[in-house]
Every structure is written in C-alpha cells, then in structure tokens.
A and B are shown apart, each in its own frame.
Chain A
Amino acid sequence: MSRIGNWLAAPVAAVLVALCLAPLAVLFAYSFFQVDFVTISTDPTLKNYARIAGSATYRALIGHAFLSGAVVVAITALIGYPVAWFIARRGGVRKSALLTLLLVPLYTGDMVRIFAWRVILGAEGVLNRLFLWLGLIDQPLQVLLFSPVASHLVLVYNYLPFMVIGLWLGFEALDERLTEAARDLGAPAREVFRRVTLPLTLPGLIAGGMMVFVLVVGDHLTPQLLGGASGVTVISAINDLFGTAFDWPLGSAIACTLLATLGLCCALAAFALSRTELGRSLAAGEA
C-alpha cells in the first residue's frame, strides 16, 4: 500500500519547517554573533552564552520563570483535581457542556483578559472600590495589582483549563470501580487518593502540568502588565533586547538557553509519561 499519509503530511511539515524550524535555526545562528556598534558581526563566538552564564540577573530570570511555572502548575493541579473529577463523572451532554464552558474563556483573547483583571484589581478597580464602599478598608489595597500575587492569580486563571483538560483525560482513563474497590477494602478517602487515584491519573497530571508549565514560562504579557516591578521576566528581557536594547545576538542566546532548558523539561515529562501505565498503553494503542 502506498503511504498516502506521507504525502498529506509533507506540505504541512514543509510549512512547519519554513515558518517554525527555519526561524529557530536562524535564531540559533544569531546567538553566536555579536553586536559591533550598530552592525552585527557574524564571526562565531560564545561570548553571549558566557555573558548569560556569568550574569546573576539572567540566571535569576530563568530561575524565576521556572519557579513561576512550578508554582502555577502546583496551584492549578490542586484546584483542578476536584473539577476534573467532577466533570469526568458527568454523563453525555452535561460533560460536553462543562468541557465547552471550561474552554470558552480561553478564546476571549489575551488583551481583553488582562484588561478585565486590571478593571477588577486596580487601585481604582472594582474590588478596591467595593471594599472602600463597604468600609472594609480605608485606603486602596496596592497589593491587588502590580504584584506577583496579581500576576500569578491571572496566570492561574489563564492556564487552569489546560490543567483541567489534562487531569480530565486522566480521570476518563481511570476505572471508577478501582477507587470503589479501594474504598470497599477499607481505605480512607485520603489513602484512596494517594494509593489509587493519584498514581492512575498521573499521566493526565504530567500532561496537564507540562502544558501549563511551558505556557506560564512563555507568557510575558501577564507579568509585564499585571506584575508591576516583578513583571520583568526572561521573556520580557528577550523582548527588550530585540526592541529598545537592539542586541539581537544576546537576545537569541537567551532565547536558545531558555528553549534548551524547556526542551529538557518537556523531554523529562515525556519520559515520565511513557513510564506510566497509560502512556505505555497509548503508545501501543496508537500503533
């Protein structure tokens, strides 16, 4: 049989190579160049990477990005678990309605979402005015906006649906009778979760966690516009180097460093996923 699939995939792969891989390759090449006054010198050099390795600021920025990612993953996982469990246990129409309702806020657009949160959290915002009106406070709470709390709240808001989708897939693959059996055998609820539910929904947790992590690390609008002084992220640093600072090679080198570390994280997650029972059966089933 002729492999029609290859012929269908070829144009898509070509577009992906031209518009995604090729730019990344050029980015990678640029990371070895250097700015020479206003021109870019193309003699290959490792100076950019040496600068990153030697700079506490850049290391801290990358560290911060990963910490933010981890924190948001943890929070979304915690608040997402009961939601995913609840959705997975609904039947037919209700389930698909809940899933649609969950995903719809993703399509409101980055700017609109950030604007809405500014309206809610700002010094002149809805919450502060409400609290003032109610007499709970006598001065606007500044911590509500332009703080790490604000930016992480909105990051959680932005990416929670991805975590719930991942966990929901995990719960769909979990046979409800297994938890019932565990309960029947006398395990208290906490033990049922720790010894049955958690290990069996782990693939969903890993998949959802990976998505949320990567998306949080890559999001610069939310911290920049809602995080105030804490809004400087590794991504916004790259943005500045390509914009105002006009040091494309250094920006490229930081981007490549970040991509490499992210890639490593994804590879680890994918490896962990393949080690779980479900991952194995998926790999076998899709063959």
Chain B
Amino acid sequence: MNIQKKMLLSAATLSLGVLAGCGNSNEIVMWTPLTGEDGQIMDQMVEDYNDTDPEFPVSHVITPDLYTQIYTVMNTGEGTPDLAMIHADRVEGFVRFDMVKPFDDLMSTHTTLNQNNYIDQAWTAGEVDGSQYTIPLDVHSNVLYYNQDLMAQYDIDHFLDDDVLTFDEIMSLEGQLEDGHYAINNALMSWVLLAQVVNLGGDISDDAGNPTIDTPEMAEAMEALVAVEEAGLMTPQGEDGFAMFQGQTVIFSSDGTWSSLAHDMVDDLNYGITNIYSFDSDTWHNRGSSHLFSMLVSEDRTEEKEEGIGEFLEWIYENSITWADAGQIPASREVYESPEFEDYQQSFFTQTEEQRDSLLIFDYEYYGYVEAAINLVILDMLYGNISIEDGLAAAQQEVEDLVAQGHGADIEIDLDDFEVEDAE
C-alpha cells in the first residue's frame, strides 16, 4: 500500500511541476458570480482597464457558485482572491465572521471612493459599525415592464401619469380585459411583496435583529396581491408569466432590470419601464440588491496591491457606463449623472432623488433566509392553496429556526467571555 501511495504522490509532484506554475503575483484576482451576459460585459470592462496598462492588472474569474467557493478557500486560507464581488445581504454576516477587510485605509488614499459619489443605499449596505467594507458596482432592481400597445388598447395610459401604478388602478381592470389577457404576472413575486411591506411601513426585521415575517403589514400586502389574483387579473398558476409578457397577453410584468435584454429580442414588443405597483402614488419602492466589491481577508494581499485595487475601483467609478449594457444601474454618481446613461431605460431610476430613494436594498443579516422562506410559500398563498395566515406563520418559524442555528457562534463567544471572567 505504501508503495502505491508513494507512486501516486511522486506522480502528483511530477505532474505538478509540468502543469502548474502560472499565476502572476502582480495580478489582482477578482471573483464574481457573473455568469452569462453579465460576465461577458464584466470581461470587457476588465479588458478595457488592463489596456490602460496599470501596474496591477485585473484577472476576472467567474465562479458560478461564488459563496460555496468562498467557503472552500476560506477554510484553507489559501487561494483567496484579492477582490470578490458579493451581494448586499451578505455583508453583515461576512463582517461578523471576520471574513472581509474594511476599505477605510484605501478610502483615505483614493478619495473618489466615498459615500457622496455612490447611490446611497448601495453604499450603506457595506457599512457596518462605522467601517466601510464594500464599494458598490451597481443596483439591480425590481421593475415594472408595461406593454405600450396593450395600454393603448385598454386606454389606460393615464395610469402611469404619476409614474406609479396602484392596486386600485389594477383592480379597476376587473372584467375589462379580453379573454386570455391579464393585468399583471407573478414574476419575482417575493420582491414585489417585500416592497409592499415597506410601503405599508413594515420591515423584515425588528431593532433587535429578529426576523418579522408574520406581521400585519406582510398579511395586508399579501391580501392585496391575492385580491388581484381572485379578480382574475394575475396570470394563472403554472403559466410562464415571463413568456406571456413577451407573448403580449399580459399588460404589466414585475421583473428584474436585466430582463430587458431578453425583451429586446422579441420583435414587435413595445414596452416601457416604471415603478413596481403600490398602494398609493405617494409611497413606492423597488426592491433591489447591489453587487459590491469586497476584500476577503488574506495574508497574501500586499499593501501595494491594495493600492492597485484602489486604482481599479476608481477606474470602475469613472467607466462603469459599460455595465449599464447588462441592464443594471451603475452605482457611480459620475456615471448615472452622465448624459450617456440617459439613453438607457434603467436611468428612469436615477433621474430624481425621489426615484433614487425608491430603491430598496435590504442589508438584514438574515435576508437570504427571509427571501427563501417567502419564496417557498408565496405562490401557494397567492393562488389560495394555503391560507396567508398559515403561509406566513410557516415562513416566520422557518427563519427563526435558521437564525437560531446561526446564533451558535454567539453562544461560543459568550462562553469564552464567561470563562475569562471566571479565571480572574
């Protein structure tokens, strides 16, 4: 057995010498979860940056299961990327487990990287206990697509005079639509629901950090959605609401900014974008998230390289107009205020301060649990398979159970403190 093992190891070492051995120490390795179109656009941006001949060129690595991969390298402490793109709702958890390094030092030498220069919600998503842990790239948001031809057909253009579609306006279509036509579809339903909860003054967590799903606000928001469904205005369960919007049988589609890429491929689809519907035209939100640059804790990253990262992020700040091609909203003020960006549909969300304020980014540490738990029950609640009461109670309990598991780390810390005191 020993001989076998030795043979195996020597074969391994041999192949290693031949096969490994690239990897430039001057390279900034950046991991992103951007598969598909997004990834190619980011590749293009990185190429453009490297063409400026920086001291520290960037190497873009697409990782389809980014968080799994981060877990694996953090467990060995080696192979950690210099820069990693994470989502807004991951920041708090990463900070808690000391996985990310703050940008505070870098911000003092690269002054472009400051709060005033970025969409506020995207910036503050990276702020924990007074330190800045991430620099935002974009906001990608929930958006309401509308079919212009269908709106003209039903003579409802005035619905959007104030840029907000309300539940009342939707309900007024009851009985007015042709057979096979629907008012709205059920795409990204959980994002719509979360926006409604905030419209009603609710939230997904309380001040103590406990999840709040089974709340009167959530129930009220859900009831409003169910009323739309019961009026026959929502696309039926099991139908592909996304394809139905492209097939021009549904007037409004609540989807992501990025879906415009696919909509553009449909020949005679005339569509526009506006805010996600709301209870009244004074209060509205569009639930979104943000891609954020972060530095995972690593011993290999030199200070010089960090300066190089600062350079890159400043370049991104100035040049992320390319990123708008992916259907996203660049977080950089210089870009979203530029005349070029006005050509992009999603500039709708940055035109006014009021519009920018409508972008809703959750940074609750357990947001991921909340969204997953809601997704598990939302369609069943919407189509009456289960009651709203039962669905919300189940989701609430599930998130509480998950959060309780996560608090294992706290227990450990408490015990340590206790022991220290004892020893004294």
Q: Do A and B come from one complex?
A: no
